[in-house]
Chain A
Amino acid sequence: MAVQLLDKNCARTAVTDGTAELDDAILVTRTRAGDERAFEELVRRYTPKVWSLVTGMIRDRDACEDVVQDVFFKVHTKLDLFEGKSRFFTWVYRIAFNTATDWLKKKRTDRSIETEDFTLFEVEAPGDAPDAGLRENELEGRLAAAVAELPEKYRDILVLREYERLSYDEIAEVRSCSPGTVESRLFRARARLKDKLKGLLF
Chain B
Amino acid sequence: MSHDEIDRLIQAEIDGEISAEDEARLQQLLAEGPEFGARYRESRSLAALFAAERERRPGPPEGLAERIAARVAAAPAPAPEGRLISFPTLFRGVAAAACLVLLVGAGFWAGQRSTSAASSSFETDVVEKVRQTVRERDLPRDEADRLLDRFRLERERLEAERQEGIRRAAEELESGLQGLVERAGR
Interface residues of A (CB under 8 A from B): 36, 39-40, 43-44, 47-48, 51-52, 55-56, 62-63, 65-66, 68-70, 72-73, 76-77, 80, 102, 106, 121, 136, 139-140, 143, 161-163, 165, 167-168, 183, 186-187, 190-191, 193-194, 197, 201-202
B64 to A51, Cβ gap below 8 A? yes
A48 to B69, Cβ gap below 8 A? no
Interface residues of B (CB under 8 A from A): 4, 7-8, 11-12, 15-17, 41-43, 45-46, 49-50, 52-54, 56-61, 64-69, 71-73, 75, 78, 81, 124, 127-128, 131, 135
Chain B residues near A102 (CB-CB < 8 A): 124
Chain A residues near B60 (CB-CB < 8 A): 47-48, 51, 68
B73 to A139, Cβ gap below 8 A? no
B7 to A68, Cβ gap below 8 A? no
Contact of B11 among A40, A63, A77, A187 (CB under 8 A): A187
Q: A52-B57, A63-B135 are in contact. Are A76 and B72 (CB under 8 A)?
A: yes
B49 to A143, Cβ gap below 8 A? yes
A190 to B46, Cβ gap below 8 A? yes
Q: A136-B52, A140-B53, A163-B54 are in contact. Are A39 and B72 (CB under 8 A)?
A: yes
Chain A residues near B16 (CB-CB < 8 A): 167
Given A197-B49, A201-B45, list of 8 further CB < 8 A pairs?
Answer: A39-B73, A40-B69, A62-B135, A69-B68, A76-B72, A162-B54, A167-B17, A187-B11
A80 to B81, Cβ gap below 8 A? yes
A168 to B65, Cβ gap below 8 A? no
Give Cα distance in the complex from A73 to B74, angstroms. Answer: 11
A-B contact pairs, 7 of them (CB 8 A): A47-B60, A55-B58, A68-B64, A69-B68, A69-B71, A162-B54, A183-B12
Give Cα distance in the complex from A184 to B16, angstroms. Answer: 15
Q: In the assembled complex, how far is the CB of residue B70 from the closest CB belonging to chain A, in whole angstroms?
A: 9
Contact of A73 among B43, B46, B75 (CB under 8 A): B75
Q: In the assembled complex, how far is the CB of residue B51 from the closest CB belonging to chain A, in whole angstroms?
A: 9
Give Cα distance in the complex from A51 to B68, angstroms. Answer: 12
Give Cα distance in the complex from A26 to B105, angstroms. Answer: 36
Chain A residues near B65 (CB-CB < 8 A): 43-44, 47
